[in-house]
Amino acid sequence: MLPEHLEAPDTRDLNGKRLYRVARADNPFHWSEISAEDSPRKHAGNRFDVPGHGVLYFASDLEGAYAETLARFRPAPAIRKHVAEQGPHFLMVGGVPRDWRDKRTVAEAVFNDPLPFLDVESAHTHEVLSSAMAAELVDLGEGIIDVASVRGRNRLLTRAIAGAHYSGVIEI
């Protein structure tokens, strides 16, 4: 339940808008699921997975769909440092394997009369979430929710946001 002084978080109107996902070609509309065993792990699963429920990830533009999907191929700083130490003729890692590319496709969807879509990029939504989830943020060792936290690597936080929205703690 939201504190009385806060209005509902911001939402995005996706009615009739084209959405995109980069997905496995054999089943492009298969949703993501996380097991109860994996859900307590900080880096397990996908950003907004809700334990016990499926999540179908989409982006509002194709570039965003690719960026999120390909993030796993970005070399870590330790690898980049090692490559830099090897000199200019050492090939940088981080390419996308052909086998991975061959098994993917771009899927598009248009939703008519969709449920509200929580705008996790909005500063107002960050304030609402920070207030409504204050106890959980303390337990997670997190501070104020902002763009960095909703885009960050801590899946415990982003899954807590999704769970709060899904369960009705964050009413929109």
- 4-19 confidence digits (pLDDT tens): 777 889 999 999 999 9
3 pLDDT exceeds 80? no
Please, what is the end-to-end C-alpha distance for the chain in angstroms?
Answer: 10
**One domain, residues 37 and 2:** no
pLDDT band for position 22 (cuts 50, 70, 90): very high
**One domain, residues 4 and 66:** no
107 pLDDT exceeds 80? yes
Is 117 in a helix, a strand, or coil?
strand
- The radius of gyration of the chain from alpha carbons, rounded to an integer in Å, stands at 18
167 pLDDT exceeds 70? yes
Structure tokens at 60: 């509002």
pLDDT band for position 94 (cuts 50, 70, 90): low
pLDDT band for position 168 (cuts 50, 70, 90): confident
User: Which among 91, 110, 129 is the end of a domain?
Assistant: 110
- Beta bridge pairs of residue 109: 19
Q: Which of 1-5, 6-10, 73-77 has the highest mean pLDDT?
A: 6-10
What does the pLDDT read at residue 16?
A: 93
**One domain, residues 28 and 106:** yes
What does the pLDDT read at residue 90?
A: 67
114 pLDDT exceeds 90? no
Q: Is the pTM of this model over 0.85?
A: no
**Of 163, 132, 121, 116, residue with least CA distance to 5:** 132
User: Which among 58, 92, 110 is the end of a domain?
Assistant: 110
User: Which among 69, 85, 110 is the end of a domain?
Assistant: 110
Number of structural domains the chain divides into? 2
What does the pLDDT read at residue 93?
A: 63
**115 vs 111, more confident:** 111
| Domain housing 104 | 18-110
**One domain, residues 4 and 22:** no
**One domain, residues 94 and 123:** no
What does the pLDDT read at residue 86?
A: 81
